Structure 1
Amino acid sequence: MRLKTKLSIGIGFLFTAILISGILGIIIIYQMKKDARLILEDNYETLVYSNNMLSLLEQQAWDTNMLRKFEFNLSKQERNITEPGEGAATSAVRNIFEQLKHHPENDSLEALIRQRIYEINTANQQAILHKNQLAEANARRFSNYLMIVFGLLALVAFTLAVNFPSIISEPIQTLSEGIKAIVNKDYTKRIRISQHDEFGDLAKAFNTMAEKLDEYEHSNLAHIKFEKSRIDTIINQMNDGIIGLDENRNLLFLNKVAENLLGIKEVEIRGKYAPDIAISNDLMRSLLQEKGQNRELKIYADQKESYFHLDVLSVTNNEKVIGQVIVLRNITPFHELNEAKTNFIATISHELKTPIASIKMSAQLLMDDRVGNVNSEQEELVKSITDDAERLLKITSELLNMSQVETGHIQLKLEPVLPEIIIDNATSTVSSLAQQKNITIKIDQGTYEQKMLTDPEKTAWVLTNFLTNAVKYSPEDGEVVLTTSMRDNNILFSVEDHGRGIEEKYLSRIFDRYFKVPGTPEKVGTGLGLSISREFIEAQGGHIWVKSRFGEGSTFGFSLPVYQAAV
């Protein structure tokens, strides 16, 4: 039987019981009311009329008022004849009363009429007694019926009250226990409900679900454990530090490298809130900083300074972030190789400067008439040797500067300097190269004798590099404009040429190391000059830039802060 049918039967029975009790009560009340009404209407009123007539007879004065009252009560009685013998007695009263109206002095008639009235009273009194006994019998009978029906209904209702709640509560409690077992991953739990209703169907569905879960658990658990163990082994064998966080930034795992770097064991912090750990751990605090992503960290590990690159990877599922993986990639070997390369370049560059300078000096002596005359072919050879020696000196100088930049050992000798000093130094260096191509260097100075705090040698080197490039890329008989100006407490230097210019797609890389604009002659340079220039200017708190339109020329510039004398 379905649960809905059971509920309908239970509620229907209660409704029927209430309805039957109500109907029986109404019937009993109605019957008792009817019996009382019959006694009142049929007999009690007759007694009233008879007693009124007897009272009038006691007055012994048959006047008109008394006759009228007697006539009134007698007429009422004549219309209320209900009992056997009452009609004959009432007719006799009428006959005698008619005689008394003509012979009021006849006492025998008065006695006869009184006797007949007593007969009427006696008949009604006996009828009242009989009807009262009948009403009592009916009341007892209906009371017994009502008690029997009420007892049966109460017994059935009590049975429903005791048993019906368990029909619903016990299956619900059983199902609740089964659900708790599933939550605790006890997939062997089964529900036994013998009811053939919705609860029975629900129990069958629950058991089917538990069987499927149990089957899935046993079929995949071993495989999942094996894969997890393999992944843990791989992660722990990596040379990179790996830290796993969930979506609430609670720590999930650390590999051995991360434990060594943080100085904390995984078992001590697993499941804890990472920012809480960062309070007492500087490295964890640095790793959790949002601005610290994708940057390089120097960490003391394995009894030496090591270098790590920080990567923070978001783990997503259906476009929802469910965690993060922090990866510290060990780049110490690359730093060591880069440092060895830098030291090698610096050593070689330094060692090459002396023989190159000697070659340049020897070439200059060969061109001196005091040593001897050379023919035109020899003069070309000597000139070629001089140019190559000059180029080698420039390359070695750039390499030495680059080694300073890479090692972070840029040595600045800052002092207040007028822009004119930088300009004179740079233009004098480039003047001979400009004269060879008949290029005019126009100076537009507007700094108003303001000084700047700078390293004059390195700043002049940067300006010389700009002017040299401008002269090289300018056509013969052209013009290069060197401009200085003031802007926001900064002195700006810009060098403008009217050469071939630079395509816009290459402008963002123009200050990168070893970058050369495609199409540039190979002999022009090493690709380090502009990169070194940026390092020198930014080390002094300045800014460097480039503007260019392909086919029209380029403008290179930099700015340095104005010197503020202490008050």
Structure 2
Amino acid sequence: MKAKKTAVSKYILSEILSEMGHMVLGSKRLDHFLKYCVLAVPEVLKCDFVAISLNRLDTVHVGVGVRRSGLRLKDDFQKNVKKKIERHLKRPVIWTEAQLITLEEKGVTKVSAKAKVVSFHLHPLTVWGERIGSISVGAVSKDAFAKYHLNMLESFAEQVALGLQSFLDRNVIKEQSSKLEADKKRFETIIGGMKEGLILLDKDGMAIAVNSAASALMDSKIDEGADARDFSIKELQSDLEKKQAFEKVVFLSSPAKSTIHVRATPIFDPSNQYQGMAVILIDVTRDREIDKMKSDFVSAVSHELRTPLASIREAIALVFDGVAGDLTEKQKKCLEIALRNSDRLTRLINDLLNLSKIESGKIEMKRTSVSLEQVVGNVISTFEPQAQKAKAALKTDLDKDLPHVFADPDQLTQVLTNLIGNSMKFTPEGGEVRVAACDMRYAQASELMTHDAQLMTDRCFVEISVTDTGPGISEADQKLLFQKFSQLDTGLTRKPGGTGLGLVISKEIVEKHGGRIWIESEVGKGTSFKFTLPVFRIEMVYLDIISQQINRVKMVHGHFYLVVAKPLSPESDKKAHSAELSRIESGLKDVFGEKAVVFKYGSRLVIAVLDSDLRNTEPFMDALDKKKEEGFQVEIISYPQDGITSEELMERVLARY
């Protein structure tokens, strides 16, 4: 009889477990699953109550009833059950609607309200060794649970645990999905309200977030998952591929002519693995227009002032020289003050004009191979009378065999004049100003040069410094030095005559050369201004020619071409090859005349930088065809289609040969 009951119980258990599996797959509500489990246990066990608790929930799901009746046990029994469970779980019990219901209507037995829980068993619910809760059963009769009952409870508990974990995982996923969706909407709201354009790229260069401002600036709707190579500004593609931080100003011709300041920052995860790029696009068109208007205004006013000021100064000088009659000493002193201040005003006007031209790009640098020894020597000689008068030593300390630098000699002279003049003003009597230069070709280029200069010079540069023994400059004041019209007053050695623009102009010039300028100073220990310039290489001249052409056409959103010619004679025959190069150079100069810059690139190629208006003319094409017939190998490289920097264009040139 006992074996038969056991078999029946096992059959019922298998049916229950099967139904539980269907509920896990089909039901979306955890409370329904819990209610079913609580009601199912009495079908196989002689128990008077069942309780299921979950560690992740605050409630304990409890079913209370009598196996032999459809009546609920009275409140006192519920309290006893509640105390029993709470003592084992050490957490409060909250009753749910899950109650034991039986179908048996006969033989109803009333249970006393004072009935105690005599038999009690608690089994943990575990998944992959982790306890997620427990299932408790109890009865009012003694020894209600045999071993086979507990075995079935164990099997039941395993399936309950798996089912519960499935529901919990689904709930967690649902909660996380809801949170992610809310975070996404919040993020989209934030970036959608930005005035700046924002593009987030993943590590493969695919767009994962683009705001409306970016789409408007790019004049196209950019969908998530779009490849940056398909939608990004051509001038940015090579920078984005390097996966490094950069800032750049680009000019767009569509939908309207605009100037965009681009700032890109790589994104890394906590383990320092590259995850993508954040690209900020800022429309600075209006700012640039305002700057241009200010520069034009300053330039116009300065020009208008310079002519009458020159006349005033000349008139004062004539009076001072006695042309208008003899002067008293008092009159001479007054005229000296007038002359000194007119000279100062002239310097200010000249500085304003120079700065305006530099900022607007109107000053075209004529960079070439420059001897630092010669330039430094010339500048030092102009300051020697001033140094003697101030009783200050003026010394140089230049490395032997110092390489030539690639610079505009006039602009380099202006930088040195500004720095040495500044040091002389703040050097006390008996002090020293020292100009030094050293070859830094093996130092870290990234610390001393701008990005473009690194590409151009391949880590070849010279460091120049102007050091004085003056009072030094505090860290707070150092931050003001490269701002317009900023002048420091030490309180002891301040001398009149500065315009407050010398360092600003010097900084602009150095950076346009691809270098960097900075200050090292300590109060009471003097000051050292240092800057770097690239070492000269012949290839840099060619790159500079192409860069100047890029700057010219960029302002009008235009284009130009490089005509590249190579002789067919083998390079191993150096004499014949050199003769062919010279013949090609002469031939291209004959074709283009003064309308193009033609030069030999090393011992391999001849390159002509050609304006766009010549490219499609019939004489041009006829001339090229004729040169090809004469044995020239000719290729045409175009800007910006084949590259947007001088380095990229030259890489394309060399790749084809």
Please give the range of the TM-score, normalised by the shorter of the 2 chains: 0.5 to 0.7
Q: Is the 8 A contact 1:307 1:335 kept in 2?
A: no
- How many Å apart are 1:526 and its aligned residue? 3.5
* Correspondence 1:335 to 2:285: no
**Aligned residue identity for 1:500:** P
Cα offsets for 1:459-499 (capped at 9, x unmatched): 11122112212221122355434455656586665434332
* Correspondence 1:260 to 2:220: no
Q: List gaps (5 residues or longer) in structure 2.
A: 45-49, 54-59, 62-95, 99-163, 442-459, 539-601, 604-657
Distance 1:229 1:483 in 2: 59
Match of 2:474 in 1: 503
Residue 174 (structure 1) aligned to one of 23, 46, 58: 23
Larger fraction in strand: 2
**Structure 2 length as normaliser, TM-score?**
0.48
Q: Which aligned pairs between 1:212-251 and structure 2 lie closer than 5 A?
A: 236=192, 238-243=194-199
Match of 1:476 in 2: 429
- In structure 2, relative to structure 1, the CA distance for the partners of 1:559 and 1:282 (3 Å cut) is closer
Distance 1:485 1:157 in 2: 97
- In structure 2, relative to structure 1, the CA distance for the partners of 1:202 and 1:169 (3 Å cut) is farther
**Aligned residue identity for 1:195:** A
* Correspondence 1:422 to 2:350: no
* Correspondence 1:548 to 2:548: no
Q: Is the 8 A contact 2:198 2:211 kept in 1?
A: yes
Match of 1:368 in 2: 321
Cα offsets for 1:74-123 (capped at 9, x unmatched): xxxxxxxxxxxxxxxxxxxxxxxxxxxxxxxxxxxxxxxxxxxxxxxxxx
Cα offsets for 1:492-540 (capped at 9, x unmatched): 6543433222235545664454444464659453332123223323433
- In structure 2, relative to structure 1, the CA distance for the partners of 1:449 and 1:400 (3 Å cut) is same
Q: Is the 8 A contact 1:445 1:484 kept in 2?
A: yes
Residue 280 (structure 1) aligned to one of 230, 233, 243: 230
Identity fraction in percent = 26
**Aligned residue identity for 2:228:** A
Q: Is the 8 A contact 1:452 1:561 kept in 2?
A: yes
- How many Å apart are 1:426 and its aligned residue? 2.1
Q: Is the 8 A contact 2:244 2:266 kept in 1?
A: no
- How many Å apart are 1:543 and its aligned residue? 5.1
Q: Is the 8 A contact 1:467 1:495 kept in 2?
A: yes
Distance 1:308 1:189 in 2: 59
Q: Is the 8 A contact 2:12 2:43 kept in 1?
A: no
- In structure 2, relative to structure 1, the CA distance for the partners of 1:481 and 1:257 (3 Å cut) is closer
Residue 356 (structure 2) aligned to one of 403, 408, 420: 403
Distance 2:344 2:295 in 1: 21
Match of 1:526 in 2: 499
Cα offsets for 1:41-76 (capped at 9, x unmatched): xxxxxxxxxxxxxxxxxxxxxxxxxxxxxxxxxxxx
Cα offsets for 1:421-451 (capped at 9, x unmatched): 4245424543554455344534556656975
Q: Which aligned pairs between 1:166-205 and structure 2 lie closer than 5 A?
A: 166-178=15-27, 181=28, 195-197=40-42
Q: Is the 8 A contact 2:474 2:522 kept in 1?
A: yes
**Structure 1 length as normaliser, TM-score?**
0.55
Q: Is the 8 A contact 2:466 2:528 kept in 1?
A: yes
Q: Is the 8 A contact 1:501 1:549 kept in 2?
A: yes
SS of match in other structure, 1:555: strand
Match of 2:257 in 1: 304
- In structure 2, relative to structure 1, the CA distance for the partners of 1:526 and 1:368 (3 Å cut) is closer
Match of 1:50 in 2: none
- How many Å apart are 1:304 and its aligned residue? 1.5
Q: Is the 8 A contact 2:419 2:529 kept in 1?
A: yes
- How many Å apart are 1:196 and its aligned residue? 4.9
Distance 1:419 1:251 in 2: 49
- In structure 2, relative to structure 1, the CA distance for the partners of 1:380 and 1:309 (3 Å cut) is same
Q: Which aligned pairs between 1:313-324 and structure 2 lie closer than 5 A?
A: none
Match of 2:508 in 1: 535
Distance 2:429 2:411 in 1: 29
Residue 463 (structure 1) aligned to one of 416, 431, 434: 416
Q: Is the 8 A contact 2:473 2:522 kept in 1?
A: yes
Match of 2:114 in 1: none
- How many Å apart are 1:258 and its aligned residue? 2.6
Q: Is the 8 A contact 1:308 1:332 kept in 2?
A: no
Distance 1:360 1:386 in 2: 6
- How many Å apart are 1:380 and its aligned residue? 1.2
Tell me the number of residue pairs that the alignment of Structure 1 and Structure 2 aligns: 399
Q: Is the 8 A contact 2:379 2:413 kept in 1?
A: yes
